[in-house]
Amino acid sequence: MFLPCAAQTEPFVASETQRITGVPQQAVLSQRGGVRLQVSDMDALLVQIMWLNLHSRMAQRVLVALAERPYRSEDDLYAFASDIAWQQWFTPRQTFKVEVTASHSPLKSLNFAALRVKDAIADRFRALQGSRPSVDTARPHVRIYLHLDAEVAYLSLDTSGEPLFKRGWREDKGDAPLKETLAATMIAAAGWNPAEGAPVPLYDPCCGSGTIVIEAAQIACGVAAGARRRFAFEHLLGFDAMRWRQLREEASAGEHAPLAPVFGSDVAHRMVDFARRNAERAGVAHAVQLRGGDALQRMPPSSTPGVIVMNPPYGSRIEAAGQAGRNLQARRSVGFSSREFSEGGDGAEFFAELAAHWKSHYAGWTAWLLTPDMKLPGKLRLKESRRVPMWNGPIDCRLFRFDLQARRTPGP
Ligand SMILES: C[S@@+](CC[C@H](N)C(=O)[O-])C[C@H]1O[C@@H](n2cnc3c(N)ncnc32)[C@H](O)[C@@H]1O
């Protein structure tokens, strides 16, 4: 099996995959762009497909890696795809689509490569069963992935359907929601897992539509990531509906009261409403406390120091609001052009004030901030104790860790 994931998150996905499946460590291999998992036989494979889709929080998809073979031309790809027993996985009654990705492929047209694989699949079905499945590019029952590197072609079958960051609860998006898979990776990188460690509180003071706090609340309550959605494997041959019902029941029997408190706040009340509605649909409204308020003014939500996990506002599209926003608006109204605003409004003021507020009130807390802004520690005037590389889609980001200490007061 192959579980693709965001670049540089592979080690987190590998240890999650090992924990979920319980397979020996050597059966899970971290590779560039994903994690490879060896499964002993077909029965184990069918169960792991269901179990991994249900429980993986950080992988993008769960693929069955069918075969790989050296290639040079589109005809090689036709021959390769003709040799695979597609009839074990689906029938001519299902629709399918071939998706193609490549790195350093010598072929001129990837579309033509995908077309040759599609032809091979259709021809194989026609030869064996007298009819062929139709192609549906918008909502296929079965997605087949062709990956081409410089010399080797890989064919795999998608068992997830919609990518796994779609947990099935999001209706209210907000301006720039994080992917749920990335939020889960931030939480894992922060080492926050109340089922394993101490039950410290988690707080996102710029929670937006609630992605981080909802992930955290589901983790705190043992709610499976995929408990509220459907998967492509439900259309595949060999799908065992009874076993699937059992696995889902097992997962929901494992849900419990929150093991640690989770808090979120945002200066935009509209966002807090979104987050509240999302938390309800995600089944964790009881496990996350949401409030409005400016991050520059909000006092710690608990007397026990905890962990702050957030992706703060950045750039001119998602500006800091609240007090810092008002200061910038005032500067703008006295005649700064928009260019000067974006240069002056790079968040420096917001982050300087945020750090001052944290030094006054958040001693003992640990803050983890995901940002594409490599200058963030300078703006906070704090030295990070860790920086974890992490891609947010196409954006190269860092998850910075800051250990917050009280401001040093001058001695007598
Ligand atoms: C990058 S978004 C966070 C997105 C969020 N993680 C999600 O998945 O929806 C930044 C958020 O910071 C909020 N924000 C901006 N200035 C703020 C402030 N001074 N205090 C609190 N929240 C603020 C914005 O309203 C926005 O929701």
Per-residue 3-state assignment (H helix, E strand, C coil) for 242-297: HHHHHHHHHHHHCCCCCCCCEEEEECCHHHHHHHHHHHHHCCCHHHEEEEECCCCC
pLDDT value of position 337? 32
Find out whether 269 and 292 touch, Cβ atoms under 8 Å: yes
Query: pLDDT of 45-78, one tens digit each?
Result: 999 999 999 999 999 999 999 999 999 999 999 9
Range of the domain at 111: 2-158
Average pLDDT score over residue span 79-103? 96
Average pLDDT across the chain, whole number: 91
Asked if 305 and 188 sit in the same domain, the reply is yes
How many residues comprise the chain?
Answer: 412
Ligand 1 pocket test: which of 171, 181, 266, 323 has the largest number of ligand atoms within 8 Å of its C-beta? 266
Find the CATH number of the domain harbouring 144. 3.30.2130.30
Q: Is residue 230 part of a domain?
A: no
First to last CA, the chain: 65
Asked if 259 and 149 sit in the same domain, the reply is no
Find out whether 372 and 396 touch, Cβ atoms under 8 Å: yes
Q: Give me the number of domains the chain comprises.
A: 2
Find out whether 47 and 146 touch, Cβ atoms under 8 Å: no
Q: Is the CB of 294 under 6 A from ligand 1?
A: yes
- Of residues 294 and 337, more confidence is placed in 294
Asked if 187 and 142 sit in the same domain, the reply is no
Asked if 367 and 259 sit in the same domain, the reply is yes
Find out whether 207 and 271 touch, Cβ atoms under 8 Å: yes
- Which pair of tokens denotes residue 151? 């010399």
pLDDT value of position 176? 73
Q: Edge to edge, what strands does the sheet with 307-310 contain?
A: 288-292, 262-266, 202-204, 307-310, 366-371, 395-403, 386-392
Q: Is residue 42 part of a domain?
A: yes
pLDDT value of position 407? 73
Average pLDDT score over residue span 223-245? 95
Asked if 111 and 142 sit in the same domain, the reply is yes
Residue nearest to atom 7 of ligand 1 (CA): 177
Asked if 62 and 116 sit in the same domain, the reply is yes
Ligand 1 pocket test: which of 204, 267, 376 has the largest number of ligand atoms within 8 Å of its C-beta? 267
Q: Is residue 237 part of a domain?
A: no
Q: Answer yes or no: is pLDDT of 331 > 60.
A: no
Find out whether 318 and 175 touch, Cβ atoms under 8 Å: yes
Asked if 146 and 192 sit in the same domain, the reply is no
Asked if 120 and 200 sit in the same domain, the reply is no
Range with the poorest average pLDDT among 72-76, 200-204, 235-239, 338-342: 338-342
Range with the poorest average pLDDT among 33-37, 161-165, 169-173, 356-360: 169-173
Average pLDDT score over residue span 377-399? 94
Find out whether 134 and 98 touch, Cβ atoms under 8 Å: no
Which helix (DSSP H) or strand (DSSP E) does residue 2 occupy? strand 2-4
Q: Is residue 410 part of a domain?
A: no
pLDDT value of position 336? 34
Q: Answer yes or no: is pLDDT of 175 > 80.
A: no
Q: Is residue 35 part of a domain?
A: yes
Find out whether 198 and 257 touch, Cβ atoms under 8 Å: no
